[in-house]
Amino acid sequence: MTDKKISIIVPAYNVENYVGECIESLIAQTYKNLEVIIVDDGSKDNTGKIIDQYAEKDKRILVVHQKNGGLPHARNTGLQYASGDYIMFLDSDDWLDMNCCEIVLNKIQSFDADLLFFEYSKEYKNKTVKMKTYGQKELKFDLTGVKEFFLYDMRTITAWGKIYKSEIIGNQRYNESMKTAEDVDFNFRVYKKTKRALYIDDNLLHYRILENSAIHGFDPKIDDKLSNVIDSLYEWAQEDFEHMEAYYSFVAIAYILICQNKICSNPGLNFLKKVSEISRIGENSSYKKLFDNIDKVKIPKSRKLIVWLGKRRFYFCIAIIVNMKLKNEDRA
């Protein structure tokens, strides 16, 4: 077994009910050469006290207490302290299978990859749903760009569910001015340096679905948040067409997310009003560019259908499809 060190960065804020399970899963890892960096981002509950107690018992745990600065700032703090050969990010309300680190380290080294994606399970209150992003056991990417990472699922642009070789992160840091989708900006820059990547379909991470999570409900500010991210990425993506394909793939994801957000909006809003809200999304210049380029860009058929319907202004059809998808996820 290799002696390479893995640094696991865990930002924590007001998670006293969940952080213990997260830390327990790291302490129990079958691979032991770990550095667990927990950044208490100004928690107002007992989170800080709980993680301090774990740090006293396990010397591999480093705790940093700081004033609340938001998730990007907390992750940057973790990167500042990280000394491992490989880096992973884990949210403080999630947890890993006990053999996760052992599996991903063996795989990433066997392929000499810069980055490895692994699967996750959605953990609802009363059920577990195992995700399969690519529908294949294993995929290897030899590439110099980022396009293929963005062509399948939103999870490919999250911080979690990955192990990075430290050298491809280098001095890259999260943009702390971004209030949402900061992972997109960060990973765009990291993927630019990625030469070899690997995907495995092992469900090694458990992603807790909280009832009050903005990701799974209505966020009234998501339109502006995503628009800001899209605008900030556009100039970067214009460097070559390969980056533009990745850019438009993300814009397609953003368009679908905002459509979903409109359907999840105020329960008092009737269905036709929600259709009307979806119709207004396409007035954004970024989505108009997406509609104009949809035939030139390779994105998955399921995503392309929603965008194609938006281009044709079949908003009622979009609303029905999105509504059915959300209901199926609730029943899954």
DSSP code per residue over 142-159: E-SSSGGGGSS-GGGGSS
DSSP code per residue over 50-106: HHHHHHHH-TTEEEEEE----HHHHHHHHHHH---SEEEE--TT-EE-TTHHHHHHH
What single letter denotes the amino acid at residue 134? Y
Q: What is the pLDDT of residue 213?
A: 47
- pLDDT band at 214, cuts 50/70/90? very low
DSSP code per residue over 213-248: -GGGS--TTHHHHHHHHHHHHHHHHTT-HHHHHHHH
- pLDDT band at 327, cuts 50/70/90? low
Task: Express each pLDDT in 247-299 by its tens digit.
Answer: 888 888 888 888 888 887 666 678 888 888 889 888 888 889 889 988 777 77
- Give the range among 76-80, 236-240, 270-274 with minimum mean pLDDT: 236-240
Q: Residues 6 or more apart from 165 whose CB is under 8 A from it?
A: 85, 86, 108, 113, 114, 115
Q: Which CATH architecture has domain 6-208?
A: Alpha-Beta Complex (3.90)
Task: Express each pLDDT in 79-113 by its tens digit.
Answer: 999 999 999 999 999 999 999 999 999 999 999 99
143: left (phi over 0), alpha (psi -120 to 50) or beta: beta
Domain boundaries, given as residue ranges, for the chain: 6-208, 214-331
- pLDDT band at 204, cuts 50/70/90? very high
Strands 128-130 and 115-123: antiparallel
